[in-house]
Structure 1
Amino acid sequence: MKRILGLIAVLAALSTSFPALAQSQERMRFQAGNDNAHAESAVRGDQYRDYVLSARGGQRIYVSLSTKGTAYFNILPPGSDGEAIYNSSQSGNDGGVTLPTSGDYRVRVYLMGADASENKRVSYTLSVGIN
């Protein structure tokens, strides 16, 4: 019994030593007749926020991220485990790509560097267009 209690204590200590990567997700919807949508929110530290949208292969997605700090976005294809087809930390916070396949794409907004490690909160406005 002491051994089990000791193991529980160790597991509890480990779970508080390594903060979980918090994330949230919302489906982005386009109003009838519009080819773009907007979202306003904020991310903090190691958190990220995914915006999910359905699109067809061959369509072009364009994303613009305006921040009150330093935030970035990635465009993740259907089934991605984190590999991006567009990375704004390398290519800029205004850009896009032609989508290779049909399905649900994710636009992931996140922080890097000091903003992430210092647990800063960064507000942003995200605009997404598909044509």
Structure 2
Amino acid sequence: MRHAFLCLPLLASLALTGLSSVSLAQSREVVKFAAGNDNASLSASVTGQEYRDYILGAQAGQTMSVSLIGDAYFNILPPGSTGEAIYNGSIDGADAVIPLTASGDYTVRVYMMGNDADTCVTQAFTLSFGIM
């Protein structure tokens, strides 16, 4: 039988606030390239079932590359997505190069799966982005 686990800080927070539903903290960051660059890199971490979203504006006809170093996964969501991915890192791997068919804001969502997500493990990662 599989058991769902909550991170202790989250459980304590829920107890203090009296909330009956679980709302995991998420983050959202707009990625900006330095003037004259078509790429950027950042390091962060993700814990348990939380996820981190990185937003990149791009135009149809451009190509996006994303690489992740670490024990996490990423998906790429197109503009207007309600969670549907055009690239699934847990299936397709930690290096993506995809042609973009629509203009707008793309989301790179970093997350964990399995036991690491269920037991609130924290994993550090480095992401590299490019839009050409």
Q: TM-score, normalised by structure 1?
A: 0.84
| Equivalent residue in structure 1 for 2:26, among 10, 23, 27 | 23
| Matched pairs, number | 115
| Equivalent residue in structure 2 for 1:59, among 50, 57, 62 | 62
Aligned counterparts of 1:34 and 1:13: Cα–Cα separation in 2: 45
Aligned-pair CA distance for 1:13: 6.1
Structure 1 counterpart of 2:39:
36
| Equivalent residue in structure 1 for 2:20, among 14, 36, 41 | 14
Deviation readout 1:78-103 (Å, 9 max, x if unpaired): 11011000011000001121111000
Deviation readout 1:36-72 (Å, 9 max, x if unpaired): 01111000001100000100011100000001xx200
* RMSD, aligned CA: 1.1
Aligned-pair CA distance for 1:14: 2.7
Aligned counterparts of 1:96 and 1:109: Cα–Cα separation in 2: 16
Aligned-pair CA distance for 1:21: 2.8
Where 2:91 maps in the other structure, the secondary structure is: helix
Aligned partner of 2:126: which letter? T
Structure showing greater radius of gyration is: 1
> Relative to total residues, which structure has the larger helix share, 1 or 2?
1
Aligned partner of 1:14: which letter? S
Please tell me whether the aligned partners of residues 29 and 37 of structure 1 are also in contact (alpha carbons under 8 angstroms). Answer: yes
Name structure 2 gaps, 5 residues minimum. Answer: 1-17
Aligned partner of 2:42: which letter? A
Please tell me whether the aligned partners of residues 66 and 124 of structure 1 are also in contact (alpha carbons under 8 angstroms). Answer: yes
Runs of 4+ in 1 over 6 A off after TM superposition: none
